[in-house]
Amino acid sequence: MSVTKKSLFIPYRNPTYEGKALLQRVEEFYQFMNRRRSLRMFSDKSVSKEVIQNIIMTASSAPSGANKQPWTFCAISSPEVKAKIRQAAEAEEYTNYHGRMSDTWLDDLKGFGTDEHKPFLEIVPWLIVVCKRAYEEEDGEKKNNYYVNESVGIATGFLLTAIHQAGLVALTHTPSPMNFLTKVLNRPANERPFLLIPVGYPAENAKVPKTQRKPPEDVIIYYE
């Protein structure tokens, strides 16, 4: 028998802006976000658990299909667990760089200076493994979540934004395949690792590849 859920509505409260103030706000936020970069050169300087918790709860405030919040964030500071993750990730990446990735793919990555070595996985104070939850088990019944990839992708965007806002840096890392994380982190059958995100301070004199972002005309089509 299905139970009809009754909606309970509450007032929406948040400031609004107009005119110059609005334009200034969006321009400033764009400039701020446009300074975000993916880093591979991290400092070992510590970051407190409270900081990480706030960043993760920002991510968890993201919209999701039917508000199911189909995610789990594994926040890892244990040196032993980080070492296990590095070892398994490097083993997978060795196979990637020595045959599993196509020549075109390897060519596309040349400018980024990546290889199978991932020392940052042990150097950083925190690794966040974002997991997606395909379904929930309630009273022995499997209940599918909705738009799981979209929801978890948006939450990860919030996570990266919160990390940047804190003046910290991150890498959206996909050591593929990622199933080793399920084992190392002992995650249940309804969860799959989605992204591995090292978080910390940038190394002194950290460098990033010189890349370019597409201009508006390449990413926006207006229908006015």
Among 61, 78, 95, 174, interactor with ligand IYR by CB under 6 A: 174
Q: Residue 35 burial by CB count (10 A; 0-12/13-18/19+): exposed, middle or buried? A: exposed
The two structure tokens encoding residue 199 = 């978080």
The angle that helices 49-59 and 148-165 make with each other, rounded to 10 degrees, is 140
With CB under 6 A as the contact rule, which of the stretches 11-19, 21-29, 107-115, 138-146 interacts with ligand IYR? 107-115
Q: Is 114 in the site for ligand IYR (CB under 6 A)?
A: yes
| Other CB atoms within 10 A of residue 133 CB | 21
- Residue 95 sits in the site that holds ligand IYR (CB under 6 A): no
* Residue 190 in contact with ligand IYR, rule: CB under 6 A: no
Check binding of 93 to ligand IYR (CB under 6 A): yes
Tell the residue number behind the tokens 């926006």, with chain if given. 220
Q: From the list 96, 145, 151, 190, which residue makes contact with ligand IYR (rule: CB under 6 A)? A: 96
Task: Give the pair of three-digit tokens for residue 111.
Answer: 């400018």
Residue 175 binds ligand IYR (CB under 6 A): yes
- Subset of 116-155 contacting ligand IYR (CB under 6 A): none
Question: What's the CA gap between 96 and 92, in Å, rounded?
Answer: 6
Question: Which positions touch ligand IYR (CB under 6 A)?
Answer: 93, 96, 109, 112, 114, 173-176
